[in-house]
Amino acid sequence: MRGDYLQRLRAELEEKERVREELILKSRELRLNSSKAIANIHAGRFEKSGEFLKKAEELLDDVLSYRDRYPELFYLAHDAVQEFVEAYAFRHIVERLELPEDLPVDIPQSVLPGLADCVGEMRRYALTLMVRGEEFDRVERIIQLMEEIYFTLIEFDFHDKLTSNLRPKLDMARNAIERTKSDYLTARVSRAVE
């Protein structure tokens, strides 16, 4: 076969191999900053959480730029973008007790499972409030928003490949809602008797 044809194939593979490693690395950074943003909200360090989220947003722009240039490799970043969605939505919800109107990302494979996972973080957050015996209205509102996310997501009934295994995540979300309601029952008793 002609050397230049083979050379073209090889060049494409070499570039992809390079981009692949690059994107894996950047995605890892994005994922780390996103999950630290979440962890710091749980640890009550809201400001520090904001710093990590800001770093994550910068990385997001970089990562998203691969979407146009190397769309066939972008699946490597789906998990990290999903973690960013989870962090972004979680912070928004804790800050304003509202779901975000929209998100800085519109990739269904990352947005939908990211929101589903967010329900689990909301459970942890509500639990911490309940253990402290604080802010019952807040807890009630959180539960409401958990259900709102759940009812929004179950409407997205597409082929699993297109929504990155949304279904099992929705089962976990539903489970988290049930357990939070169950804890809320107890917490209300607690408030009444103490």
- Binding residues (CB under 8 A) for its own copies: these are 1-2, 5-6, 8-10, 12-14, 16-17, 20, 32, 35, 39, 43, 71-72, 74-75, 99-103, 106, 108, 111-112, 123-124, 127-128, 130-131, 143, 151-152, 154-159, 161-163, 174, 178-179, 181-190, 192-194
Q: How far is the CB of 16 from its own copies (least distance, A)?
A: 6
Query: Which CB atom, from 57 or from 167, has the smaller least distance to its own copies?
Result: 167
Residue 86 annotated as binding?
yes
The dihedral built from the CA positions of residue 30, 59, 63 and 16, taken in this order, carries a sign that is: negative
**C-alpha span between 104 and 120 (Å, rounded):** 21
**C-alpha span between 147 and 175 (Å, rounded):** 11
Encoded tokens for 164: 């990155």
Q: Give burial (CB, 10 Å; 0-12/13-18/19+) of 78.
A: middle
Q: How far is the CB of 35 from its own copies (least distance, A)?
A: 8
Chain mean position to CA 123: 14
Q: How far is the CB of 50 from its own copies (least distance, A)?
A: 18
Which residues participate in the annotated binding site for Mg(2+)?
A: 86
